[in-house]
Amino acid sequence: MAKGRESKPHIGIFGRRNNGKSSFINALAGQDIAIVSDVAGTTTDPVRKSMEIPGIGPAILVDTAGIDDTGELGLKRVQRSLSALKTVDMAILLITHNTFDEVEEKLVEDFRKQEVPFVVLHNKSDLEGLQNGLKEILQKKYNAPVLEFCALDPGNREEVVVTLRKTMPETAYRAASLLGDLLSYGDLVLLITPIDIEAPEGRLILPQVQAIRDIIDNDCIAVVAKEKEVDALMKVLNPKPSLVVTDSQVFLRADASIPKDIPLTSFSIMLARHKGDFENYLKGTPKISELRDGDRVLMLESCTHHVACDDIGRVKIPRWLTSFTGKKLEFDVVAGLGELPRPITDYALLIQCGGCVITRRQIVGRLKPAVDAGVPVTNYGMAIAWMHGIFKRAVAPFSNLHHDPEDYL
């Protein structure tokens, strides 16, 4: 599947070959955006289609291969379809001819394991209508909406859209504020933004832009400065900042420049609370101090990007980890939402980036196998704060809303 680079909600379309998944997408979109064919297995890999859904807004529909595919290649296609469950916010299971047996039951079991809400649509109702008995059985057994549909004559398209809107978790399309629960009207927030080799030419990086917009949306004031100007700025800044958010790479300098009575965190930790698995990050970060010789660490980047000579995830954090622990560590790096090179249990620690370009669901789904297997997880900013000895201060603005950081130390 294409790597996750969309923060829009994702809806996965699942079902057997030739159940009309691509036709359904075209009917829902009101235009031909997916290839349709009478030949079973036309869709071979999950394909993403962008469209606007009333009440949800921009969304990504993920068209998957048939879950009943056969043969060695077919089984690989099925596995790719199932892997899409880690990235979708909800699923649509298409059935036809009132067929719902072991194949569909196994798929629903996978939905539940991944905690993906779903809707069952009986497609091709022009050929054979949905039996009331089957509808009642499915609704009672799975507590999920069951609707009839005909992609060739989608007369109840609006009903389907309303059902999707009700089933989709609001958190997938109605994002909470990044910093709003820390701020009051008119507060001043200082953003420390180094301009280094990794900064895009003529632009700020996305988390910095997102923070500025969120501060303004909360009727507060954003002041932006490079780390070199912070000391001089703090002498004249009035009123003093209610919060300071820094790039994690200059945490030590920011910690020295910002008085201890002013809350300090980083863009990466801001994102960790907003769309990451914050509680498990809190639990996992101290495990850095327990790493041993030969341990393998997995660095998870949320996107593909030009790798600079001093890349934060591939160079700086591994260097800091090796220096901090004094151990000989092995590192793997996975960009986007690609497959892992090893079993999850081969790793002693996972370090996830902030994830500014993907959804919370994608990050949590990415981390779930590690969490389930008891492998510690953390994120870039929290790991850097731990290694620089300022973890408590860096997570306090957020963790105090839910837990005392001392609970995890």
pLDDT of residue 74: 85
CA separation for the pair 357, 365 (Å, rounded)? 15
Q: Which domain holds residue 203?
A: 180-269
Is it the case that residue 5 has pLDDT exceeding 50?
no
Is it the case that residue 403 has pLDDT exceeding 90?
no
Mean pLDDT of 302-320: 76
DSSP string, 270-313: HHHHHHS-HHHHHHHGGGGGG--TT-EEEEE-SS-----TT-II
Mean pLDDT of 339-362: 91
Is it the case that residue 325 has pLDDT exceeding 70?
yes
* The dihedral sign for the CA sequence 90, 45, 369, 380: negative
Please write the tens of the pLDDT for every residue from 37-81: 444 444 445 678 888 887 778 888 998 989 988 888 888 888 888
The number of helices, as runs of H, and strands, as runs of E, in the chain is 15, 14
Is it the case that residue 179 has pLDDT exceeding 50?
yes
- 274 or 407: which leads in pLDDT: 274
63 CB-side CA count, 13 A: 25
CATH number at residue 237: 3.40.50.11420
Q: Strands, E, within 219-280: which ranges?
A: 221-225, 243-246, 264-266
Query: For residue 225, which phi and psi values (nearest 5 degrees)?
Result: -150, 150
* The dihedral sign for the CA sequence 128, 131, 137, 143: positive
One domain for residues 283 and 324: yes
pLDDT of residue 359: 82
- 302 or 44: which leads in pLDDT: 302
Q: What percent of the chain has pLDDT over 90?
A: 60
pLDDT of residue 69: 87
- 153 or 94: which leads in pLDDT: 94
One domain for residues 27 and 42: yes
One domain for residues 20 and 73: yes
- 327 or 30: which leads in pLDDT: 327
In a domain, residue 4? The reply is: no
58 CB-side CA count, 13 A: 5
Q: Which residues contact 270 (CB under 8 A, 6 or more apart)?
A: 178, 179, 207, 211, 245, 354, 381, 398
pLDDT of residue 310: 65
Order the strands of the 243-246 sheet from edge to edge. Answer: 221-225, 188-192, 243-246, 264-266
One domain for residues 188 and 217: yes
Report residue 353's pLDDT band, with 50, 70 and 90 as the boundaries: very high
Q: Which residues is 13 bridged to in the sheet? A: 63, 92
Neighbours of 310 (CB within 10 A): 13
CA separation for the pair 98, 101 (Å, rounded)? 10
Mean pLDDT of 189-203: 80
Peptide bond into 239 cis (omega under 30): yes
Q: Both tokens of residue 366?
A: 């990415």
Find out whether 368 and 114 touch, Cβ atoms under 8 Å. Answer: yes
Least confident stretch, 30-44, 92-106, 284-298 = 30-44
Of the three residues 173, 207, 228, the one that is the final residue of a domain is: 173
Q: Give the position of tokens 């949590």.
A: 364
Is it the case that residue 271 has pLDDT exceeding 90?
yes
User: What is the DSSP secondary structure assignment for residue 358, as one 8-state letter?
Assistant: S
One domain for residues 100 and 247: no
Of the three residues 146, 173, 200, the one that is the final residue of a domain is: 173
Query: How many angstroms from the chain centroid is the CA of residue 121?
Result: 26
In a domain, residue 126? The reply is: yes
In a domain, residue 3? The reply is: no
Q: Which residues contact 11 (CB under 8 A, 6 or more apart)?
A: 59, 60, 61, 62, 88, 89, 90, 91, 92, 164, 168
One domain for residues 22 and 168: yes
Report residue 12's pLDDT band, with 50, 70 and 90 as the boundaries: very high
pLDDT of residue 77: 86
In a domain, residue 5? The reply is: no
One domain for residues 153 and 196: no
* The dihedral sign for the CA sequence 105, 109, 110, 112: positive
Is it the case that residue 224 has pLDDT exceeding 90?
yes
pLDDT of residue 149: 93
Q: Both tokens of residue 6?
A: 């969309």
Give the predicted TM-score (pTM) of the model: 0.70
Query: For residue 190, which phi and psi values (nearest 5 degrees)?
Result: -95, 125
In a domain, residue 57? The reply is: yes
CA separation for the pair 9, 56 (Å, rounded)? 8
Q: Both tokens of residue 389?
A: 């000895």
One domain for residues 252 and 358: no
Q: Both tokens of residue 242?
A: 């209610």
In a domain, residue 1? The reply is: no
Specify which of 66-70, 350-354, 401-405 reaches the highest per-range mean pLDDT. Answer: 350-354
pLDDT of residue 29: 75
Find out whether 49 and 33 touch, Cβ atoms under 8 Å. Answer: yes
CA separation for the pair 270, 178 (Å, rounded)? 7
pLDDT of residue 175: 65
Is it the case that residue 84 has pLDDT exceeding 80?
yes
One domain for residues 310 and 384: yes
Is it the case that residue 284 has pLDDT exceeding 70?
yes
pLDDT of residue 73: 85
One domain for residues 165 and 86: yes
pLDDT of residue 13: 94
Is it the case that residue 35 has pLDDT exceeding 80?
no
pLDDT of residue 406: 60
CATH number at residue 26: 3.40.50.300
Is it the case that residue 6 has pLDDT exceeding 70?
no
Of the three residues 229, 249, 269, the one that is the final residue of a domain is: 269
Mean pLDDT of 314-319: 94
One domain for residues 209 and 256: yes
Counted domains in the chain: 3
Is it the case that residue 356 has pLDDT exceeding 60?
yes
Q: What percent of the chain has pLDDT over 70?
A: 88
One domain for residues 249 and 315: no
In a domain, residue 87? The reply is: yes
CATH number at residue 401: 3.40.50.11410
In a domain, residue 2? The reply is: no
Backbone Cα Rg of the chain: 24
